[in-house]
Structure 1
Amino acid sequence: MAEPGPFRSPASAVQLSGRLLCWCLAAAMASAAVDAVLDPRARWWGTMWTLPWWLACAAVLAWSVLRAREKADRPPPHDSVPSDWEQAA
């Protein structure tokens, strides 16, 4: 039996996109902190520090689409009565 590696984990696409989102947000906050504290003068920095923010936006879109598909594909429980909160949602 093959052991799961870093690219063969049992995590779903929703979990992986959520992890990507977290890492993009961490990188975006770190780059914003570097920009605020160190104020780099390199020409490429103006476009480079915004890159993680754009990646975070793309990861949010991917995660929301995958999560909506996951919730739509899940069958409702048969033995439970929906509460008012679940009916409103």
Structure 2
Amino acid sequence: MAEPRPFRSPVSAVQLSARLLCWSLAAAMISAAADAFLDPRADWWGVVWPLPWWLFGAAALAWTVLRAREKADRPPPHGIARSDWEQAA
């Protein structure tokens, strides 16, 4: 069995993109709440608060593509009889 590289994480790209998706959604919701309730008057705020929403959209797209690719590459489990419905699909 090969040893893992010292700086290589066992986490897949799908899991990393899912984490980014969750954290960017949390940041987007916090920034939207801050914009709604605190009404910041700083000039830079109008540019900064939508950034987590853009990151969320990009992360959602990346997760969708990576997850579909992961599911397509996975072989079907052995020992399980496929039903007519699964074969048709």
Structure 1, gaps ≥5 residues long: none
Structure 2, gaps ≥5 residues long: none
Matched, 1:16 2:16: yes
Q: CA deviation at 1:4?
A: 5.8
Identity %: 75
What amino acid is aligned across from residue 24 of structure 1 in structure 2?
A: S
**Alignment TM-score, normalising by the size of structure 2:** 0.82
Mapped partners of 1:46, 1:84: distance in 2: 55
Q: How many residues align?
A: 87
Aligned position for 1:46:
46
Aligned position for 1:64:
64
Following TM superposition, where does structure 1 have runs of at least 4 consecutive aligned residues deviating by more than 6 angstroms?
none
Mapped partners of 1:34, 1:65: distance in 2: 31
User: CA 1:53–1:70 in 2, change beyond 3 Å: closer, same or farther?
Assistant: same
Mapped partners of 2:12, 2:34: distance in 1: 33
Between structure 1 and structure 2, the one with the greater Rg is 2
CA root-mean-square deviation: 2.5
